[in-house]
Amino acid sequence: MMRLVQKLIKMIMKGVNQYGAHVNIIKLPIVPKVIKMKNKTILSEEFLKSINNTYTHLIAHHSTGFDNPETKDWDNIDIYHRSFRMNWNIMVRPETAYLKLKKKIELQGNIIKVGNSYYPKDQVLEFYKRASVLMGEELYLGQYVSTYIKNTKIETPWNAIGYTLGIERAGGKLVVRYGRKLNIRQAHCYQEGMNSHGIGLLIVGNYDKAAPDGELWRFAIKVVREIKNARKGLIVLGHREVKGVKKTCPGELFNMKQFREDLKIRRK
């Protein structure tokens, strides 16, 4: 039986019927396999999934400096937020004053009080090492850390950059940078409780001095649209539009009204 089946298969393949007569073989067209392609997103799937219903707003920010297309400005902002700061400057202390204070601090315990917070000894030592030379050495000598903090309004380091994510040009191309995880409190706008329910987007560049170019504008629109698709009903505001904020952020030349209008338009 098996041999008969094999013989019939060979005859059919040759275009011959069981009587030896040739027949026309109808060749069916090959239907290509349909592969469903996932729409490629700019933002990572992990980030989009982390956006929960707690977040009701997205707040757009800009930076005080221009975006250098060849460098990673985001990294410098990250370092700034995680440093002791005063008057927008990272503190740097003269080596001589630092060495004198180092001896005093090393006599204390491993945890030292700074204002109302407690910090590891090595972090406080780093603070003195980087404290501002503009205040003069005399002010620091013999002072306790908490008194120094109180008198000079030093901002203590944050555990991460304040923004949720950012957009910048690095290596000549536009990229997205990720900051604070959404499962911890943000640190980009305390007014109206936005640090609790606002996603902070930093668009690197000073838009008081120059308007964002077309490429950057379209890229930002795509990024924010992806966030809005992941969190329906999200309200998009510029930092200056939050009640109580006395800044131009994200810049006088960053048109938030037009930005929101463009979010609604889907170009092919």
Domain boundaries of the chain, sorted by first residue: 45-80+159-264, 83-152
Helix (H) or strand (E) holding 189: none
- Alpha-carbon gap, residue 206 to 54, rounded angstroms: 30
Class of domain 45-80+159-264: alpha beta
Once rounded to an integer, what is the mean pLDDT over residues 105-116?
A: 71
Once rounded to an integer, what is the mean pLDDT over residues 95-111?
A: 67
CA distances from 10 to 6, 182, 221 (A): 6, 66, 62
Higher pLDDT, residue 177 or 160: 177
Mean pLDDT lowest among 46-55, 109-118, 133-142, 153-162: 133-142
The CA-CA-CA angle for residues 168, 186, 250, to 5°, reads 45
Residue 80: exposure state from Cβ atoms within 10 A (0-12, 13-18, ≥19) = middle
pTM of the model: 0.66
Highest average pLDDT, of 8-12, 37-41, 224-228, comes from: 224-228
- Alpha-carbon gap, residue 56 to 78, rounded angstroms: 25
Nearest by Cα to 78 from 180, 181, 171, 160: 160
Higher pLDDT, residue 171 or 199: 199
pLDDT exceeds 50 at position 117: yes
Give 37-41 contacts, CB < 8 A, sequence gap 24+. Answer: 41/226
pLDDT exceeds 90 at position 262: yes
- Helices and strands, number each (H, E), in the chain: 10, 9
pLDDT exceeds 60 at position 103: yes
